[in-house]
Amino acid sequence: MGIETVAVYSDADRHSMFVKEADQAFRIGPPPTNQSYLQMDTMLEVVRASGAQAVHPGYGFLSENPAFQKMLKANDVTFIGPGTQAIVAMGDKIESKKLAKDAGVSTVPGYLGEVEDMKEVLRISNEIGYPVMIKASAGGGGKGMRIAFNDQEAEEGFKLSKEEAINSFGDGRIFIEKYIQ
C-alpha cells in the first residue's frame, strides 16, 4: 500500500514487535495506561511530529473515546474507525445494553444504571441474586470486571473494578448484572 506506519508505545511495550516493525515509533510514557495510551494530547503531539494524516487507534483505549475522534477531526486528521455516534452508543456498556433492550434484544438480567456507592452495590447485588458480575461501563478486554458470590466479594469487587476502570479507561462508572455460569 505504500503507507508509512507510526507506532506509539509505553515503556512496557518498547521491545514489542509492533514497535520494531513500524517505520517510526514514539515513546508516549510509563506503563500505566492513564499516563500513556489514554493521553490524547500526547497522541496529537505524535501525529504532528510524525506528519501522520490518519490514525488507526486499534482497539480499547482511545479507540472508544469520542473526544479523541473529535480532537483528530478538529486537527484535520482522519480517524480510521466507526463514527462518533457508534462509539458513544457502543463504548458505554450501560447505554449499549439499554439500546439492545429497547430494540428487543435479549440481555443478561441486571441493573441498567450506574452503581454509585457501596450501599447500592449490596442492594442491587442482593436484588439480582448472587453470583453477580460487577463491570466497568467503559471497560473492555476483561478489565474492570469482577465476579461476586456474596456481599463481601461484591464490596471488594466494586472497589477494585472502579479503581481499575479509572486507571484503564479514565471512567469509573460501574454497573452490575447477573453472572451467567
Number of domains the chain is built from: 2
Of residues 90 and 80, which shows the higher confidence score?
80
Same domain, 74 and 127: no
Mean pLDDT of 98-104: 92
Cell numbers linked to 173: 462508572
d(CA 24, CA 94): 38
pLDDT of residue 84: 87
Cell numbers linked to 11: 515503556
In the beta sheet, which residues pair with residue 176?
A: 134
Same domain, 81 and 104: no
pLDDT of residue 30: 97
pLDDT of residue 61: 85
Say whether pLDDT at 86 is over 90. no
- For residue 121, give the 3-state DSSP assignment: helix
Signed CA dihedral, 164, 90, 74, 79: sign only: positive
Q: Has residue 1 been placed in a domain?
A: no
pLDDT of residue 92: 84
Domain boundary among 88, 107, 138: 88
In the beta sheet, which residues pair with residue 175?
A: 135
Q: Tens of pLDDT along 119-155? A: 999 999 999 999 999 999 986 778 899 999 999 999 9
Q: Which of 50, 18, 26 is nearest to 10 (CA)?
A: 26
d(CA 169, CA 136): 9
Q: Which domain range does residue 124 map to?
A: 93-178
Q: Is the CB of residue 60 less than 8 Å from the CB of residue 170?
A: no
Same domain, 132 and 84: no
Split at pLDDT 50, 70, 90, the class of 113 is very high
40: domain CATH number?
A: 3.40.50.20
142: domain CATH number?
A: 3.30.1490.20
Same domain, 119 and 61: no
pLDDT of residue 148: 98
Q: For the chain, what is the mean pLDDT?
A: 94
The pTM score is: 0.65
